[in-house]
Chains A and B, each alone.
Chain A
Amino acid sequence: MSRQWWAALVFVAALALLPLGASDYLLSALTLVFIAALVGIAWNLMMGFAGQLSLGHALYFGVGAYTVAILAERYGVTPWIGMGIAFAAGAAIALLIGALGFRFAVRGVYFALLTIAFAEFGRIVFEHWSFVGGTGGFYLKALSATNVPLISLRGGARFNYYALLVTLTFAWWLSVAVVRSAIGYRWRAIRDDEDAARALGVPAFRLKLLAVALSGGLTAIAGGWSGLIGGSLFPDSVLGMRLSIDFIVAPIVGGIGTLFGPILGAFIVVPLNEWSRELAQAAGINGLNLLIYGVLLMAVIIVAPQGGWPWIARRLGLVERVPCRPGEQARNGVAIAASDSTTGDTHGQTSGRTQGQTPSRAQGQTSDRATQ
């Protein structure tokens, strides 16, 4: 096992043991972190690896939340099945939007606009749809005394914590597996230059659809959990534009196009968001939390333009060594983490900016390696 796998294992094990000594409040807060990380991973698959910017991920999240909640509440469908249906619903909607956009070669910001339009359309539909409660919202019944969490998938803080930890770990593993497969390589090629990738035989249309479907499906599952935990759903809170923006801040702060970045970002952004919201309330200053958000983003852009994780990973020595042929150790000694999708990659959108910086970054990495 590589150093990275060990680090991942230690990280997950530490989180698994944490409830032994943590308060319910902390566990609930961390559960929110996990949900944000889950969506961040999903969004990042699409943006950071396949290069397709979505600013409407609240749509998948909201559809997943309503799907699981309504199936359970109205039709008595266990969320075990509900989650599967939510995944399928999220993936199907993402496929629809993707197919429409990609078929007509809607690229870049125009594609992002399309995702906003669909998400807002979805929110308005839900607001006017009495079946789902309209603006009045949809509520899950309070838990009965005979509730079995493993059947209803609803429980206390500790249950929710573990449920999300398991889901997150699975999603993370899935993202690592996909990104490191041929699919991940080809996604990054599409991200960097779609036409050049197609000239090299990359079936861009199909692979982009795969990325959006996987992303939409995983996001819907996060939404499903969020609904089960919160117990009440409102179009504005699970489908709103603000949520779509919140979702992307964590992976940006953690590092777009990195495998751990969305998780790190969620650990930074969610607590900061909670804290600043409380601060804003206490101080009676509306929008203070947004200001803090803005300052954080600027700080990240200045200190670690590729996000927090590449910055930290280099210092932890978790930058993957590039595999080489036997007898070429010398080459490996100076190799930079070029092919390491876990840490180093930047996405197409910033390549113009990072291009000029890459040499110094590369040197930084090389000398880091030398001092290890």
Chain B
Amino acid sequence: MSAILQLKGVTRRYSGLVAVSDVSFDIEQGSITALIGPNGAGKTTTFGMIAGAISPSAGSIHYEGVRIDGVAPERLCAMGIARTFQIVRPLQGMSVIDNVMIGALNRTSNLKIARSNALDLLDRVGLGTKAFEMASNLTLPDRKLLETAKALATGPKLLMLDEVMAGLRPAEADRVMDVLSAVRAEGVTILLIEHVMRVVMAIAQHVIVLNHGELIARGTPSAIVTHPRVIESYLGTKAIHP
């Protein structure tokens, strides 16, 4: 299988702080990869750089063989990269369905088609009954579902999800995992940041572990949970603070 995404030596510095340090990895086309690591490890920053929201201080990012670091987020979205925001960003002045329609308009300029796509997606993630509420009225778990629906609506080839299952009830999380498995079966590549190891173990084929901005391990989920450095820096601390 070929790589849809390649990071080479990607670094992001903030004044006096290296959020992401010389990170390199490939993401295989059609896979589900989990990006894990303790708080502040640089996961969200890595996402931001791939999605074009943040430009790397050094290194390069290739998507489908094209160099994309520095490309504007809306162009990357049009090229098939979608991301959710860890701190959810619903469009507050719009209804739930209109939020998802904005994503759907990435693929079509026909409002009717966008609307029906949006409704289908809302049903899929379990927000169908709230389609016509204002996005600002949603509870936090529902806003997380909305983030996922919006990103899915753009019709991505590479879907990046930043802790979309945090705070969901287990049944809701299972539903999202079902959606993700189905989406993956349609050929979409998924990169997800997740703290819930149950989710990681269940759906990811590959795991990448960041710690203090550095990539410290990568491999299959079962290999990762027994990796000494991962246990020491991440899973071990999780055992102490569940």
Contact = CB atoms under 8 A, between A and B. Distances in A.
A286 interface: no
B111 interface: yes
A257 B93 contact: yes
B91 A199 contact: no
A325 interface: yes
A193 B91 contact: yes
A363 B115 CA distance: 25
Interface stretch (B35-43, B100-108, B173-181, B214-222): B100-108
Contacts of B116: 325
Question: Which 3 A-B residue pairs are closest in the complex by CB-CB distance?
Answer: A338-B95, A201-B106, A201-B77
A336 B77 CA distance: 31
Interface stretch (A21-29, A61-69, A351-359): A351-359
Contact of B136 (A186, A201, A323, A351): A351
A300 to B, nearest CB: 19
A358 B134 contact: yes
A201 B111 contact: no
A346 B102 contact: no
Contacts of A367: none
B168 interface: no
A203 interface: yes
B51 A201 contact: no
A96 interface: no
Contacts of B115: 323
A338 B74 contact: no
Contacts of B129: 331
B102 A185 contact: yes
Interface string A150-194: 000000000000000000000000000000011001101101110
Nearest to A189: B102
B25 interface: no
B200 to A, nearest CB: 24
A355 B92 contact: yes
Interface residues of B, number: 42
Contact of B53 (A185, A192, A193, A195): A195
Task: Among A182, A200, A336, A362, find the residue whose CB has the most chain B CB atoms closer than 10 A.
Answer: A200
A204 interface: yes
Q: Chain A interface: which size bin?
A: 35 or more
Contacts of A288: none
Q: Is the interface of A mostly helix, strand, loop or mixed?
A: helix
A198 interface: yes
A100 interface: no
Given A188-B94, A332-B132, A336-B132, 9 more contacts: A185-B111, A192-B93, A193-B89, A198-B72, A199-B73, A199-B74, A325-B116, A338-B134, A347-B93
Interface string A309-330: 0000000000000111100000
B117 interface: no
Contact of A338 (B78, B82, B98, B105): B98
A188 B132 contact: no
Interface in B93-133: 93-98, 101-103, 105-106, 109, 111, 114-116, 119, 129, 131-133
Given A339-B95, A345-B94, A199 B105 contact: no
A152 to B, nearest CB: 42
Nearest to A203: B74
B137 interface: yes
B132 A324 contact: yes
Contacts of A325: 116, 119
B105 A185 contact: yes
A188 B91 contact: yes
B83 interface: yes
B37 to A, nearest CB: 22
15 contacts: A182-B109, A182-B111, A186-B102, A193-B91, A193-B92, A196-B91, A199-B73, A200-B102, A324-B132, A336-B132, A338-B96, A338-B98, A345-B93, A351-B136, A359-B137
B132 A339 contact: yes
Nearest to A324: B132
A362 B134 contact: yes
B154 interface: yes
Contacts of A112: none
A307 B85 CA distance: 32
Nearest to B160: A199
Contacts of A292: none
A202 interface: yes
Contacts of A331: 129, 131-132
B51 A199 contact: yes
